[in-house]
Amino acid sequence: MNLILMGPPGAGKGTQAQRLEKKFGIIQLSTGDMLRAAVASGSDLGKQAKEIMEAGGLVSDDLIIAMISSRIDEDDCKNGFILDGFPRTTPQAEALDVMLKDKGIQIDHVIEIEVDDDAMVARITGRYTCSGCGAGYHDEFQKPATEGVCDQCGGTEFTRRADDNAETVRSRLDAYHDQTAPILAYYKEKGNLKGVEGMAAIDDVTEQLNGIVG
Ligand code: ADP
Ligand code: ADP
Ligand code: ZN
Protein backbone atom coordinates (compact mmCIF):
# COMPACT_ATOMS: atom_id res chain seq x y z
CA MET A 1 0.00 0.00 0.00
CA ASN A 2 1.30 3.41 -1.01
CA LEU A 3 0.01 6.68 0.43
CA ILE A 4 0.52 10.39 0.03
CA LEU A 5 -0.11 12.62 3.06
CA MET A 6 -0.85 16.24 2.21
CA GLY A 7 -1.27 19.27 4.47
CA PRO A 8 0.55 22.45 5.46
CA PRO A 9 3.54 22.53 7.83
CA GLY A 10 2.29 21.47 11.26
CA ALA A 11 -0.77 19.59 9.97
CA GLY A 12 0.42 16.33 11.55
CA LYS A 13 1.85 14.51 8.53
CA GLY A 14 4.99 13.34 10.34
CA THR A 15 3.12 12.37 13.51
CA GLN A 16 0.56 10.32 11.62
CA ALA A 17 3.09 8.83 9.19
CA GLN A 18 5.06 7.43 12.14
CA ARG A 19 1.90 5.73 13.39
CA LEU A 20 0.90 4.39 9.95
CA GLU A 21 4.44 3.09 9.52
CA LYS A 22 4.14 1.01 12.70
CA LYS A 23 0.59 -0.21 12.16
CA PHE A 24 0.83 -1.14 8.50
CA GLY A 25 4.52 -1.91 8.06
CA ILE A 26 4.95 0.66 5.34
CA ILE A 27 7.79 3.13 5.41
CA GLN A 28 7.62 6.90 5.93
CA LEU A 29 9.46 8.83 3.24
CA SER A 30 9.84 12.39 4.45
CA THR A 31 11.64 14.63 1.97
CA GLY A 32 12.15 17.13 4.82
CA ASP A 33 13.93 14.47 6.93
CA MET A 34 16.04 13.41 3.94
CA LEU A 35 17.04 17.00 3.28
CA ARG A 36 17.89 17.61 6.95
CA ALA A 37 20.10 14.50 6.87
CA ALA A 38 21.79 15.86 3.75
CA VAL A 39 22.37 19.22 5.43
CA ALA A 40 23.81 17.51 8.52
CA SER A 41 26.15 15.39 6.40
CA GLY A 42 27.41 18.44 4.49
CA SER A 43 26.79 16.77 1.10
CA ASP A 44 26.43 18.83 -2.11
CA LEU A 45 22.66 18.42 -1.89
CA GLY A 46 22.74 19.60 1.73
CA LYS A 47 24.80 22.67 0.82
CA GLN A 48 22.31 23.59 -1.88
CA ALA A 49 19.30 23.05 0.37
CA LYS A 50 20.41 24.62 3.67
CA GLU A 51 19.70 28.31 3.11
CA ILE A 52 16.48 27.71 1.21
CA MET A 53 15.17 25.56 4.06
CA GLU A 54 16.15 28.08 6.70
CA ALA A 55 14.25 30.78 4.82
CA GLY A 56 11.17 28.56 4.47
CA GLY A 57 11.38 28.33 0.66
CA LEU A 58 11.20 25.22 -1.51
CA VAL A 59 14.23 23.31 -2.74
CA SER A 60 14.42 22.87 -6.54
CA ASP A 61 12.15 20.27 -8.11
CA ASP A 62 15.01 18.52 -9.94
CA LEU A 63 16.95 17.82 -6.75
CA ILE A 64 13.88 16.58 -4.90
CA ILE A 65 12.61 14.38 -7.72
CA ALA A 66 15.99 12.67 -8.13
CA MET A 67 16.25 12.15 -4.38
CA ILE A 68 12.81 10.54 -3.99
CA SER A 69 13.11 8.42 -7.13
CA SER A 70 16.25 6.68 -5.93
CA ARG A 71 14.80 6.33 -2.43
CA ILE A 72 11.68 4.53 -3.69
CA ASP A 73 13.95 1.99 -5.43
CA GLU A 74 15.39 0.83 -2.11
CA ASP A 75 14.33 -2.54 -0.73
CA ASP A 76 12.53 -1.24 2.35
CA CYS A 77 9.92 0.44 0.12
CA LYS A 78 8.76 -2.86 -1.42
CA ASN A 79 5.98 -3.29 1.17
CA GLY A 80 4.72 0.22 0.58
CA PHE A 81 5.48 3.78 1.55
CA ILE A 82 3.97 7.00 2.84
CA LEU A 83 5.05 10.15 1.04
CA ASP A 84 5.29 12.93 3.65
CA GLY A 85 6.17 16.36 2.24
CA PHE A 86 6.28 15.25 -1.38
CA PRO A 87 4.97 16.18 -3.94
CA ARG A 88 4.92 19.88 -3.08
CA THR A 89 4.65 21.47 -6.53
CA THR A 90 2.78 20.62 -9.72
CA PRO A 91 6.03 19.63 -11.53
CA GLN A 92 6.80 17.27 -8.63
CA ALA A 93 3.32 15.71 -8.84
CA GLU A 94 3.70 15.21 -12.59
CA ALA A 95 7.19 13.79 -12.22
CA LEU A 96 5.88 11.41 -9.54
CA ASP A 97 3.25 10.08 -11.94
CA VAL A 98 5.86 9.40 -14.61
CA MET A 99 8.22 7.84 -12.08
CA LEU A 100 5.56 5.52 -10.64
CA LYS A 101 4.42 4.45 -14.09
CA ASP A 102 8.02 3.57 -14.99
CA LYS A 103 8.44 1.62 -11.78
CA GLY A 104 5.01 -0.07 -12.06
CA ILE A 105 3.78 1.31 -8.73
CA GLN A 106 0.39 2.83 -7.83
CA ILE A 107 -0.73 5.27 -5.15
CA ASP A 108 -3.71 3.89 -3.21
CA HIS A 109 -4.79 7.01 -1.31
CA VAL A 110 -3.92 10.68 -1.33
CA ILE A 111 -5.05 12.03 2.05
CA GLU A 112 -5.28 15.69 2.96
CA ILE A 113 -5.02 16.54 6.65
CA GLU A 114 -7.29 19.58 6.83
CA VAL A 115 -6.33 22.23 9.39
CA ASP A 116 -6.65 25.95 10.17
CA ASP A 117 -3.52 27.90 9.33
CA ASP A 118 -3.83 30.03 12.46
CA ALA A 119 -3.25 26.99 14.66
CA MET A 120 -0.09 25.93 12.83
CA VAL A 121 2.21 28.53 14.41
CA ALA A 122 1.68 27.09 17.89
CA ARG A 123 2.10 23.54 16.60
CA ILE A 124 5.36 24.33 14.86
CA THR A 125 6.98 26.50 17.49
CA GLY A 126 6.28 23.81 20.13
CA ARG A 127 7.54 20.90 18.03
CA TYR A 128 10.59 18.83 19.03
CA THR A 129 12.02 15.44 18.14
CA CYS A 130 13.92 12.67 19.94
CA SER A 131 17.54 12.72 18.75
CA GLY A 132 17.79 8.97 19.32
CA CYS A 133 14.83 7.61 17.37
CA GLY A 134 13.15 10.57 15.66
CA ALA A 135 9.88 10.30 17.59
CA GLY A 136 7.95 13.58 17.40
CA TYR A 137 6.71 15.56 20.43
CA HIS A 138 5.11 18.88 21.32
CA ASP A 139 5.60 21.13 24.36
CA GLU A 140 1.87 21.20 25.00
CA PHE A 141 0.03 18.78 22.71
CA GLN A 142 2.19 15.66 22.78
CA LYS A 143 4.39 15.42 25.86
CA PRO A 144 6.32 12.24 26.69
CA ALA A 145 4.84 10.25 29.62
CA THR A 146 7.90 11.11 31.72
CA GLU A 147 9.21 14.60 31.18
CA GLY A 148 12.50 14.64 29.29
CA VAL A 149 12.42 10.91 28.45
CA CYS A 150 11.41 9.57 25.03
CA ASP A 151 8.44 7.15 25.21
CA GLN A 152 9.77 5.09 22.31
CA CYS A 153 13.48 4.64 23.07
CA GLY A 154 14.13 6.09 26.54
CA GLY A 155 16.45 8.69 25.05
CA THR A 156 16.93 12.00 26.87
CA GLU A 157 18.21 14.18 24.06
CA PHE A 158 15.88 16.15 21.86
CA THR A 159 16.28 18.58 18.97
CA ARG A 160 14.31 21.43 17.50
CA ARG A 161 14.44 22.32 13.82
CA ALA A 162 16.26 25.50 12.76
CA ASP A 163 13.26 26.46 10.62
CA ASP A 164 10.62 25.91 13.33
CA ASN A 165 10.25 29.56 14.31
CA ALA A 166 7.33 31.97 13.99
CA GLU A 167 8.93 34.02 11.17
CA THR A 168 9.64 31.06 8.91
CA VAL A 169 6.25 29.46 9.51
CA ARG A 170 4.56 32.28 7.59
CA SER A 171 6.77 31.79 4.52
CA ARG A 172 6.21 28.05 4.70
CA LEU A 173 2.43 28.45 4.92
CA ASP A 174 2.57 30.87 1.96
CA ALA A 175 4.64 28.37 -0.02
CA TYR A 176 2.07 25.71 0.79
CA HIS A 177 -0.89 27.74 -0.43
CA ASP A 178 0.88 29.10 -3.52
CA GLN A 179 2.71 26.02 -4.71
CA THR A 180 1.39 22.91 -2.95
CA ALA A 181 -2.37 23.37 -2.48
CA PRO A 182 -2.96 23.48 -6.28
CA ILE A 183 -1.91 19.80 -6.41
CA LEU A 184 -4.99 18.90 -4.36
CA ALA A 185 -7.19 19.80 -7.34
CA TYR A 186 -4.97 17.62 -9.52
CA TYR A 187 -5.57 14.58 -7.29
CA LYS A 188 -9.24 15.42 -6.83
CA GLU A 189 -9.67 15.25 -10.59
CA LYS A 190 -7.95 11.88 -10.67
CA GLY A 191 -10.44 10.73 -8.02
CA ASN A 192 -8.19 9.46 -5.25
CA LEU A 193 -8.20 12.41 -2.83
CA LYS A 194 -9.62 11.92 0.67
CA GLY A 195 -9.68 14.29 3.64
CA VAL A 196 -9.41 13.95 7.41
CA GLU A 197 -10.25 16.56 10.05
CA GLY A 198 -6.79 17.54 11.28
CA MET A 199 -7.91 19.91 14.04
CA ALA A 200 -9.10 16.88 16.03
CA ALA A 201 -6.93 15.31 18.73
CA ILE A 202 -3.93 13.30 17.51
CA ASP A 203 -5.50 9.90 18.35
CA ASP A 204 -8.72 10.91 16.65
CA VAL A 205 -6.89 11.83 13.44
CA THR A 206 -5.17 8.43 13.60
CA GLU A 207 -8.56 6.72 13.81
CA GLN A 208 -9.85 8.64 10.82
CA LEU A 209 -6.78 7.58 8.84
CA ASN A 210 -7.09 3.96 9.90
CA GLY A 211 -10.68 4.09 8.66
CA ILE A 212 -9.49 5.10 5.20
CA VAL A 213 -6.42 2.92 4.98
CA GLY A 214 -7.28 -0.21 7.00
P1 ADP B 1 3.95 18.08 9.85
O2 ADP B 1 4.80 16.85 9.63
O3 ADP B 1 2.69 18.07 9.04
O4 ADP B 1 4.72 19.36 9.66
P5 ADP B 1 3.94 17.23 12.65
O6 ADP B 1 3.38 15.86 12.60
O7 ADP B 1 5.40 17.37 12.86
O8 ADP B 1 3.46 18.08 11.37
O9 ADP B 1 3.15 18.02 13.80
C10 ADP B 1 3.55 19.34 14.20
C11 ADP B 1 3.49 19.43 15.73
O12 ADP B 1 2.13 19.43 16.15
C13 ADP B 1 4.17 18.29 16.44
O14 ADP B 1 4.86 18.81 17.57
C15 ADP B 1 3.03 17.36 16.85
O16 ADP B 1 3.29 16.73 18.10
C17 ADP B 1 1.85 18.32 16.98
N18 ADP B 1 0.59 17.74 16.47
C19 ADP B 1 0.43 16.89 15.43
N20 ADP B 1 -0.89 16.59 15.25
C21 ADP B 1 -1.57 17.29 16.19
C22 ADP B 1 -2.97 17.39 16.54
N23 ADP B 1 -3.91 16.72 15.87
N24 ADP B 1 -3.29 18.19 17.59
C25 ADP B 1 -2.33 18.87 18.28
N26 ADP B 1 -1.01 18.81 18.00
C27 ADP B 1 -0.62 18.02 16.98
P1 ADP C 1 6.99 20.41 7.45
O2 ADP C 1 7.14 19.23 8.36
O3 ADP C 1 6.98 21.68 8.21
O4 ADP C 1 5.86 20.26 6.49
P5 ADP C 1 9.23 19.42 5.91
O6 ADP C 1 10.05 18.73 6.93
O7 ADP C 1 8.38 18.60 5.03
O8 ADP C 1 8.34 20.55 6.62
O9 ADP C 1 10.16 20.32 4.98
C10 ADP C 1 11.10 21.23 5.54
C11 ADP C 1 11.70 22.05 4.42
O12 ADP C 1 12.39 21.19 3.49
C13 ADP C 1 10.70 22.81 3.56
O14 ADP C 1 10.36 24.07 4.11
C15 ADP C 1 11.46 22.95 2.22
O16 ADP C 1 12.45 23.97 2.30
C17 ADP C 1 12.20 21.61 2.14
N18 ADP C 1 11.41 20.57 1.43
C19 ADP C 1 10.91 19.43 1.95
N20 ADP C 1 10.26 18.71 1.03
C21 ADP C 1 10.34 19.42 -0.12
C22 ADP C 1 9.83 19.23 -1.44
N23 ADP C 1 9.11 18.14 -1.76
N24 ADP C 1 10.11 20.17 -2.37
C25 ADP C 1 10.83 21.27 -2.08
N26 ADP C 1 11.32 21.53 -0.85
C27 ADP C 1 11.08 20.62 0.13
ZN1 ZN D 1 13.37 8.28 21.11
pLDDT tens, residue by residue, 159-184: 999 999 999 999 999 999 999 999 99
| Average pLDDT rounded to a whole number, residues 115-137 | 97
Residue minimizing CA distance to atom 19 of ligand 1: 12
Q: Which ligand is nearest to the CA of 138?
A: 1
Give the confidence band of 113 by pLDDT, cuts at 50, 70, 90.
very high
Q: Compute how many other C-beta atoms are within 10 angstroms of the C-beta atom of residue 116.
A: 9
Mean pLDDT, residues 118-134: 97
Residue bearing the CA closest to ligand 1, atom 22: 202
Active site residue 161: yes
Ligand 2 atom with minimal separation from the 33 CA: 6
Q: Is the CB of 138 under 6 A from ligand 1?
A: yes
**Residue 131 to residues 14, 135, 152, 167, Cα–Cα distance (Å):** 15, 8, 11, 24
Q: Compute the distance between CA of residue 201 and CA of residue 198 in angstroms, rounded to an integer.
A: 8
Ligand with minimal distance to 124 CA = 1
pTM: 0.97
Phi, psi values for residue 198, rounded to 5°: -85, -5
Catalytic residue check, 36:
no
Ligand 1 centroid to Cα of residue 52, in Å, is 22
Is 88 assigned a catalytic role?
yes
The secondary structure of residue 149, as a DSSP letter, is S
DSSP for 14-45, written as a single string: HHHHHHHHHHH--EEEEHHHHHHHHHHHT-HH
Identify which ligand lies nearest to the alpha carbon of 133.
3
State which ligand 2 atom lies nearest to the alpha carbon of 56.
Answer: 14
| pLDDT digit string, tens, across residues 28-79 | 999 999 999 999 999 999 999 999 999 999 999 999 999 999 999 999 999 9
d(CA 57, CA 85) in angstroms, rounded, equals: 13
pLDDT at 50: 96
Reported as a pLDDT band with limits 50, 70 and 90, residue 191 is: confident
Region 16-36 average pLDDT: 97
Task: Measure the CA–CA gap between 157 and 144, rounded to whole angstroms.
Answer: 12
Q: Distance between CA 136 and CA 72 in Å, rounded?
A: 23
Which atom of ligand 2 has the smallest separation from the CA of 168?
14
Cα–Cα distance measured from residue 186 to residue 82, given in angstroms and rounded to the nearest whole number: 19
Say yes or no to pLDDT of 27 above 90.
yes
